[in-house]
Amino acid sequence: MIRTLDDLDAAGTTVGVRVDVNSPLGDDGRLADDARIRAHVDTLSELIERDARVVVLAHQGRPGGDEFSTLESHAERLDELLSGPVSYSDAIFSADAREAVRALDDGEALVLENTRFYSEEYMAFEPSAAAETHMVAKLSSVLDCFVNDAFAAAHRSQPSMVGFSTALPAYAGRVMETELEVLGNIDETATPRVYVLAGAKVVDSIDVARSVLERGLADAVLTAGIVGNTFLLADGVTLGAASASIVNDRSADAVKRAGDLLDDYGHRIYLPRDVAIERGGERVELDLSELPTTEPAMDVGSRTIAAYADVLEDAGTAILNGPAGVFEEELFAYGTKELYTAATRAEYSIVGGGDTAAALRRLGIDDFSHISTGGGACLRMLTGDTLPAVEVLDRY
Ligand code: 3PG
């Protein structure tokens, strides 16, 4: 069983709370999108209002990457959003940082520095070894318990994700609780159940497709984006050099795996009927019979959109992950916009998070039953895998 905030006697206790506020940053290095921060407001404000002393742990970016930064602007945003005062420490577990934790009063919050500034945080550990890392051991000495609300990082077995939950009494936060409830009970949602697998995560999407088809969860799998192009190649369609290279860059054996899936479950897998390319600065749609072309396929075409929209509107449950095309360019946002809008008319709709959620915010579509905060974590759950950070919580 997983304990939740309902099981926690919060008043006067010092609670470490792992959140996932890994966010896009602007050119000035400050937050460009606060959606992931807002997602955790319920958990953090609830703890503050229940008089806990809240110590926030989170990562931002990856070492060496453009978005690897401090959490200073995240802390400032939390101070604006939360119901109690929020301070910031530019260290994670130094003597000063631990002193700042000890100095907290009931109903106050402290954001510690980016956990990935500590080198071991970017490594995978068994839970018991994670509990003995410097960061977890030092900080656990000033914490009474731990709340994991970082569903979006729950597929990582990094020290802050599995170590604190092993070293301390551990609870799921409200985001984690909701995600597990929705994504863990897909088999109970209304049928027909339709999966839209799109975007660029080709291998992950093929894994999801195989898993949900094998487990009898999917009545239909609609493919689009680079995932769709991969299935078209597997079906013998010659897309043209440019599109084919997009697919091949991502994974050498993806086409073969897509082909195997078509052999096994082809009757339940839908392939694009047409594609949109850019020619002379215009959107031009080509039927499959007009391929190959030298221009890359940037979106699905209107015939695909109409066919997929029919299936989605009649769905009991629509589960979508990834954009149907290069939605960042106005000419090619059409497929993504239309398919996701059609999915809002299904009885129940679930959208995979990460880049997809950001795309939908940009397109102004948000009328879904559930938008996951997780990208990779959501895909992993959809394949039926257990997530390491959830496994360690599930021990009561
Ligand atoms: C995400 O954005 O998917 C999570 O924050 C995990 O980040 P990571 O892929 O860098 O571990």
For the chain, the domains span 5-177, 184-382
pLDDT digit string, tens, across residues 180-210 = 999 999 999 999 999 999 988 888 899 999 9
How many C-beta atoms lie closer than 10 Å to residue 190's C-beta?
11
Residue 233 has pLDDT above 70, yes or no: yes
Tell whether ligand 1 has an atom less than 6 A from the beta carbon of residue 62. Answer: yes
User: Six-digit token pair at 134?
Assistant: 């410097």
Compute the average pLDDT of residues 59-75: 96
- Separation of alpha carbons 171 and 168, rounded Å: 10
- Separation of alpha carbons 238 and 325, rounded Å: 19
Compute the average pLDDT of residues 55-81: 96
Compute the average pLDDT of residues 356-376: 90
Q: Are the C-beta atoms of residues 86 and 111 closer than 8 Å to each other?
A: yes
Residue 249 has pLDDT above 60, yes or no: no
248 — pLDDT class (breaks 50, 70, 90) = low
Distance of CA 238 to the CA centre of its chain: 32
245 — pLDDT class (breaks 50, 70, 90) = low
Architecture of domain 184-382: 3-Layer(aba) Sandwich (3.40)
- Separation of alpha carbons 335 and 324, rounded Å: 6
Tell me whether domains 5-177 and 184-382 share a fold. Answer: yes
Residue 251 has pLDDT above 80, yes or no: no
Out of 18, 19, 20, 74, mutate this one to test ligand 1's pocket (max ligand atoms within 8 Å of CB): namely 20
Tell whether ligand 1 has an atom less than 6 A from the beta carbon of residue 387. Answer: no
Closest to 295 measured CA to CA, from 310, 307, 280, 308: 280
Compute the average pLDDT of residues 361-374: 92
* Closest ligand 1 atom to 377 CA: 3
What are the backbone angles phi and psi of residue 329, rounded to the nearest 5°? -100, 130
DSSP H helix total and E strand total for the chain: 17, 15
Ligand 1 centre and the CA of 153: distance in Å?
A: 6
Ligand 1 centre and the CA of 150: distance in Å?
A: 10
Tell whether ligand 1 has an atom less than 6 A from the beta carbon of residue 22. Answer: yes
362 — pLDDT class (breaks 50, 70, 90) = confident
Q: What is the pTM of this model?
A: 0.92
Compute the average pLDDT of residues 149-165: 98
For position 289, what pLDDT does the model report? 95
Q: How many Cα atoms occupy the beta-carbon half-sphere of 109 within 13 Å?
A: 28
Tell whether ligand 1 has an atom less than 6 A from the beta carbon of residue 156. Answer: yes
Tell whether ligand 1 has an atom less than 6 A from the beta carbon of residue 388. Answer: no
Residue bearing the CA closest to ligand 1, atom 7 = 153
Residue with tokens 């985001």: 175
Q: Are the C-beta atoms of residues 194 and 312 closer than 8 Å to each other?
A: yes
* Mean confidence (pLDDT) of the chain: 94
Residues 6+ apart with CB under 8 A from 236: none
Closest to 147 measured CA to CA, from 3, 353, 1: 3
Compute the average pLDDT of residues 353-366: 85
Compute the average pLDDT of residues 345-356: 90
Out of 19, 37, 59, 321, mutate this one to test ligand 1's pocket (max ligand atoms within 8 Å of CB): namely 59
User: Of all residues in the chain, what percent carry a pLDDT higher than 90?
Assistant: 85
Ligand 1 centre and the CA of 24: distance in Å?
A: 11
What are the backbone angles phi and psi of residue 21, rounded to the nearest 5°? -115, 25
359 — pLDDT class (breaks 50, 70, 90) = confident
* Closest ligand 1 atom to 375 CA: 3
Cis check: omega of the bond before 292, within 30 degrees of 0:
yes
Ligand 1 centre and the CA of 42: distance in Å?
A: 21
Residue bearing the CA closest to ligand 1, atom 11 = 153
- Separation of alpha carbons 290 and 273, rounded Å: 11
Over the range 271-299, which residues count as b (16 or more CB within 10 Å of their CB) and which as e? bbbbbbbbeeeebbbbebeebebebbbbb
Helical spans, DSSP H, in the chain: 35-39, 41-49, 72-81, 95-102, 127-130, 134-140, 164-167, 174-183, 202-214, 225-234, 241-250, 254-265, 302-313, 334-343, 355-363, 376-382, 388-393
127 — pLDDT class (breaks 50, 70, 90) = very high
pLDDT digit string, tens, across residues 273-320 = 999 999 999 999 999 999 999 999 999 999 999 999 999 999 999 999
For position 140, what pLDDT does the model report? 98
For position 246, what pLDDT does the model report? 63
Residue 222 has pLDDT above 90, yes or no: yes
- Separation of alpha carbons 166 and 130, rounded Å: 8
Ligand 1 centre and the CA of 348: distance in Å?
A: 27
Ligand 1 centre and the CA of 76: distance in Å?
A: 21
- Separation of alpha carbons 359 and 337, rounded Å: 9
Residue bearing the CA closest to ligand 1, atom 8 = 153
Tell whether ligand 1 has an atom less than 6 A from the beta carbon of residue 376. Answer: yes
Ligand 1 centre and the CA of 133: distance in Å?
A: 21
Residue bearing the CA closest to ligand 1, atom 2 = 22
For position 169, what pLDDT does the model report? 98
Residues 6+ apart with CB under 8 A from 199: 205, 225, 226, 227, 321, 322, 323, 355, 356
Sheet holding 86-88, edge to edge: 86-88, 109-111, 53-57, 14-18, 145-148, 170-172
Residues 6+ apart with CB under 8 A from 163: 125, 127, 130, 131, 132, 133, 135, 136
- Separation of alpha carbons 305 and 324, rounded Å: 10
Ligand 1 centre and the CA of 147: distance in Å?
A: 18
For position 199, what pLDDT does the model report? 86
* Closest ligand 1 atom to 353 CA: 3
Residue 3 has pLDDT above 80, yes or no: yes
For the domain spanning 5-177, the CATH number is 3.40.50.1260
* Closest ligand 1 atom to 156 CA: 11
Residue 241 has pLDDT above 90, yes or no: no
Tell whether ligand 1 has an atom less than 6 A from the beta carbon of residue 323. Answer: no
For position 84, what pLDDT does the model report? 87
159 — pLDDT class (breaks 50, 70, 90) = very high
Ligand 1 centre and the CA of 152: distance in Å?
A: 7
Q: Are the C-beta atoms of residues 273 and 307 closer than 8 Å to each other?
A: yes
Out of 37, 156, 175, mutate this one to test ligand 1's pocket (max ligand atoms within 8 Å of CB): namely 156
261 — pLDDT class (breaks 50, 70, 90) = very high
- Separation of alpha carbons 256 and 254, rounded Å: 5
Using DSSP bridges, classify how beta strands 274-279 and 299-300 pair: parallel, antiparallel or unpaired: antiparallel
For position 5, what pLDDT does the model report? 98
244 — pLDDT class (breaks 50, 70, 90) = low
Q: Are the C-beta atoms of residues 324 and 301 closer than 8 Å to each other?
A: no
